[in-house]
Structures are given as structure tokens and as C-alpha cells.
């Protein structure tokens, strides 16, 4: 199982990534380990905002790609309302389950 996630940083920015283990990945970001993203080393990750489950890496990566191309306003709406229809023309929305 793969997960696409969005986390909030101290400066209110949002980071999007994929993983097979949410707890481990969040810890890597928060503790700024070598395996954490370069972005979160400079933008203090503080909390997980949204998580979507995918059956495979390909689907998780596609979702990550399209989320990263949304505006900040669209990302905030996605978090608040789970509006995956923002991406309907790009991906098959039914493939993703919000946790």
C-alpha cells in the first residue's frame, strides 16, 4: 500500500510526498533526518494535513504530481473539503481513498 500525503510546515507552506509508512515518513520530516526531504529541513514540518491511500506506487506518484501542480488555495481546499474533483480531468479520482 502506498500513501500520498500533505503536511503543513511552520511557515504555513504545504509539502506533498508519497510513502509506504506514514509514521516513519513524518518522523523523518520532523526530525530532519537524512532521509527527510530537503524542503522540510528548511521549512520545519509540524503536522500531517491529509493522507490518501493508493494500491500502487504509480497511482500514488500520479496523485502527488497533480497535487504539487495545484495552487496554494486549491491545496487548502483539497485539505478542507477533500475536493479531489479539482483533479478529475487529470486522474481517476476513484483510485484514491482519503484516510
Q: What is the pLDDT of residues 35-84, one digit of tens each?
A: 888 888 899 999 998 988 898 999 999 999 999 999 999 999 888 877 66
pLDDT digits (tens, 9 = 90+) for 19-40: 999 999 998 998 888 888 888 8
Asked if 17 contacts 59 with a C-beta cutoff of 8 angstroms, the reply is no
Rounded Cα–Cα distance for residues 31 and 34 (Å): 9
Q: Residue 96 pLDDT more than 80?
A: no
The predicted pLDDT at position 91 comes to: 54
Q: Residue 97 pLDDT more than 70?
A: no
Q: What are phi and psi of 32, to 5 degrees?
A: 55, 45
Whole-structure pTM value: 0.82
Asked if 59 contacts 2 with a C-beta cutoff of 8 angstroms, the reply is yes
Amino acid at each position: 500500500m502506498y500513501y500520498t500525503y500533505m503536511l503543513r510546515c511552520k511557515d504555513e507552506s504545504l509539502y506533498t510526498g508519497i510513502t509506504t509508512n506514514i509514521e516513519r515518513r513524518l518522523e523523518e520530516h520532523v526530525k530532519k533526518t537524512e532521509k527527510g526531504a530537503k524542503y522540510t529541513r528548511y521549512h520545519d514540518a509540524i503536522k500531517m494535513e491529509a493522507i490518501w491511500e493508493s494500491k500502487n506506487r504509480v497511482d500514488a506518484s500520479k496523485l502527488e504530481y497533480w497535487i504539487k501542480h495545484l495552487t496554494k488555495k486549491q491545496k487548502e481546499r483539497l485539505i478542507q473539503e477533500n475536493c479531489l474533483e479539482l483533479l478529475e480531468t487529470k486522474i481517476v479520482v476513484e483510485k484514491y481513498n482519503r484516510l
